[in-house]
Chains A and B, each alone.
Chain A
């Protein structure tokens, strides 16, 4: 049974991909310090979360069958500290959270700590819309804002958004059975702060200080600017019906969004519309007051949640500068052309390899023994007796094969 379980349940867009990448790549180093990060693939905890919450995810869920129980079993068998991290766990229901805690040994000797990394809504709201767009959504920013501002919260967009972002509610669902000193909030510092400050907070909260970890991450979830997000939304509208999810992921999300458009860092950034700031400010103040009242451990500063003031020049992604969208589209076309060229070269190389294989196969057929057998078969096929012999031989060979 793990003595200590650090269960990181969110929230999205708070540096979670980087944290998970560091933990995954440093599994051996961590194991040397008796810390288990139980994952045989980078997205192991994501799959476990899908399984726990019975959440379909564009077909990926078929790889998730039984993943939570397998993960929990590894944690229960470890005698030191175990870390589990995935941001979509934030949306788990009380029943799912209860099942997860129990499966990790809560109430049976394990000391479970709940970790929640949090960022201001001023950045989270545009980031969540962008994340929706990178997952094939084609709704406008305005429609997204209308849905999340609807007090009834009945739409899929709104239930998901508040499910993974409403901090006191997430803490209610996950932490109602844990003492406040075992609930840790890591705040994401404001933009433009010292580099690595967020990592230092993670390191402190997860007890990783003093461990020599390789921190140069390969994975992150880079952001897009307003015209780039507008472009991806238009691509979704145009291509969604014909592009399969399995092709969308590598071509649109990875190649276009992450590898190409996210490099355009000089375009206007996505931001919260100025007129939404008072509403967000009111929510944030109520959250901070509630979290302070509950007495959780906070790594960082709760007032990081206040967020930045409204931007002076707001770039509305629903009415973007067409010149900027066209420039982004040009970059996208170039990236797709280069990818097309790479695939053509790859196809040509494979074609050559196939031809070489076929020639090698033909050469092997030209060996004397093969030629003799072929000649014999041809001769036997010319007469009724020969055909009978061949039939008997093939039947015998078939039986032998089946018996084997």
Chain B
């Protein structure tokens, strides 16, 4: 039980104010209040609730869940309010919640958002056509952000990949976009480090990640099925013709840099709330559509990585041509190009997005 001191009573007063929708910062708060629980909520939780109040109107249920939520994973523990308790000889120092970095608030928000995603469950399954007997046999590999939505659309049309004699289509685009796609795919799947850390690792090795290294992928498939059945596709518009459909296939989900980072953080918590298969389904079918709907600038590779990336793209292009694979589209499309976007997600943007999703109608 928290001790009964003027500082603690002031903290309880602030807690009550926030639960009633207040937005006054902690350092401006003076009124005391009665205890509302066995212990004071942490500074991160209280500040997140204050920001939610400043942004919208969180319901009573959401406010309570925010105050009860601990930040998941490793990181700073729930912190005490500066001025509410004395600085002891042990324990992390109390803080002014207004000065907490956004990253601390995102950890709590991601926890609550993951619970929301699990509670909302999966949308109704789309009708999947029965596999057609006569269909072009194909496999779509390469850049997962390009290939996954196309493959899903083809499966829904009764054209699942695989089968004897399949042509392997290795999908790709410019190396910079593929690099961001590799991080995006990792963030949506098994989890990935933060973009900066992940990119620093790639830059040290000056190598493309395996999943978007088209030369490596093409070689691996050529060894399995023979080079004559491997085609490198650098023009996504060519894919429908190559898989025997007339209608265009969907492109990659237009996910902003901030949305990708939020998906990464929420996905980490989802890994502890759902089995791997269900987690994947929840990320792709429940969370992703909400993030896509928000929009925002996409992620691009910062200019300081241009040199090594260009050199690597040239090696991949030359290697593919030397090996003699059929290439659909201009091979120079592999070279990095300047695109509009942001060089990294911003914590402020990720937090704003997380709060927006938490406050969306229908969320408790």
Stretch at the interface among B23-31, B70-78, B159-167, B299-307: B70-78
Answer whether residue A344 sits at the interface, using C-beta atoms and an 8 A cutoff: no
- Kindly specify which of B7-15, B89-97, B134-142, B313-321 makes contact with the partner chain: B89-97
Q: Please name all residues of chain A whose beta carbon is closer than 8 Å to the beta carbon of B274 when the two chains form the complex.
A: 65
Which residues 312-350 in B have Cβ within 8 Å of A in the complex? none
Binary CB contact string for chain B from 56 to 77 against chain A (1 if under 8 A, 0 otherwise): 0000000000001111111111
Given contacts A93-B78, A176-B39, A241-B205, contact A53 B90 (CB under 8 A): no
Of the residues B74, B78, B205, contact of A95 by C-beta under 8 Å = B78
Neighbour of A290 across the interface among B71, B89, B92, B275, CB < 8 A: B89
A279-B360 Cα distance, complex, nearest whole Å: 50
Query: Given contacts A94-B39, A162-B92, is CB(A54)–CB(B77) below 8 Å?
Result: no
Listed stretches B234-242, B254-262, B265-273; interface member: B265-273
Q: Is the CB of A54 within 8 A of B76?
A: no
Interface residue stretch chosen among A55-63, A305-313, A324-332: A55-63
Name the contact of B111 in the complex, choosing from A54, A98, A286 (C-beta under 8 A).
Answer: A54
CB distance from A222 to the nearest CB of B (A): 25
Residues of the A chain whose Cβ atoms lie less than 8 Å from the Cβ of B205: 241
Complex interface: chain A residues within 8 A of B90 (CB): 166-169, 283, 286-287, 290
B224 CB within 8 Å of chain A: no
Q: Known A53-B72, A156-B75; judge A98-B38 contact (CB<8 A).
A: yes
Most buried by B among A65, A152, A176: A65
Tell me the A166-200 residues at the B interface (CB within 8 Å).
Answer: 166-169, 172-173, 176-177
> Which residues of B are found within 8 Å of A62, using beta-carbon distances?
271, 275-276, 279
Least CB distance from B88 to A in Å reads 8
Question: Number of residues in A with C-beta < 8 Å to the partner?
Answer: 39
Does B201 sit at the interface, judged by CB under 8 A?
Answer: yes
Check A166 against B72 for contact (C-beta < 8 Å): no
Rounded to whole angstroms, the CA-CA distance of A241 and B76 in the bound complex is 26
Pair A61/B70 contact, Cβ less than 8 Å? no
- Tell me which residues across on chain B come within 8 A of A228, comparing CB atoms: none
Q: Does A51 make an interface contact (CB < 8 A)?
A: yes
* Interface check A151, CB cutoff 8 A: yes
In the assembled complex, A263 has its CB within 8 A of some CB on chain B: no
Determine whether A18 belongs to the interface, using a CB cutoff of 8 Å to chain B. no
Asked if A56 contacts B42 (CB within 8 A), the reply is: no
B190 within 8 A of A: yes
Given known contacts A151-B93, A168-B90, is B73 in contact with A56 (CB within 8 Å)? yes
B272–A154 touching, CB < 8 Å: no
For residue B119, CB closer than 8 A to chain A, the reply is: no
User: Which residue of A55, A64, A153, A286 is within 8 Å of B72 (Cβ)?
Assistant: A55
> Chain A interface secondary structure, helix, strand, loop or mixed?
helix
B1 beta carbon closer than 8 Å to chain A: yes
Tell me which residues from 17 to 56 in chain A have a Cβ below 8 Å from any Cβ of chain B.
Answer: 50-51, 53-56
**Does chain B have a CB within 8 A of A96?**
yes
Q: Is A91 an interface residue (CB 8 A)?
A: yes
In the complex, the answer to whether B73 meets A177 with C-beta atoms within 8 Å is no
CB of B191 within 8 Å of the partner chain: yes
Does A80 lie at the interface of the complex (its beta carbon under 8 Å from any beta carbon of B)? no
- Partner of B70 from A93, A153, A168, A172 at Cβ < 8 Å: A93
Q: A159 with B70: in contact, given A61-B271, A176-B1 (CB under 8 Å)?
A: no
Give A145-171 as 1s and 0s: 1 = Cβ < 8 Å from B's Cβ atoms: 000000111101001101100111100
| A252-B315 Cα distance, complex, nearest whole Å | 34
Determine if B191 and A153 form an interchain contact, defined as CB atoms under 8 angstroms apart: no
Give the distance in Å from the alpha carbon of A287 to the alpha carbon of B91 in the complex: 11
Report the Cα distance A153→B201, complex, angstroms.
Answer: 25
Q: A56 vs B93: C-alpha distance in the bound complex, in angstroms?
A: 25
Task: Give the residue name and chain of the A residue nearest to B40 (CB).
Answer: A94
**In the complex, given contacts A55-B73, A153-B93, what are 13 additional A-B residue pairs having Cβ atoms less than 8 angstroms apart?**
A50-B272, A65-B272, A93-B71, A159-B77, A167-B90, A168-B91, A172-B91, A176-B1, A176-B38, A177-B38, A241-B201, A241-B204, A286-B90
Query: What is A's interface to B at a CB cutoff of 8 Å?
Result: 50-51, 53-56, 59, 61-62, 64-65, 91, 93-96, 98, 151-154, 156, 159-160, 162-163, 166-169, 172-173, 176-177, 241, 283, 286-287, 290
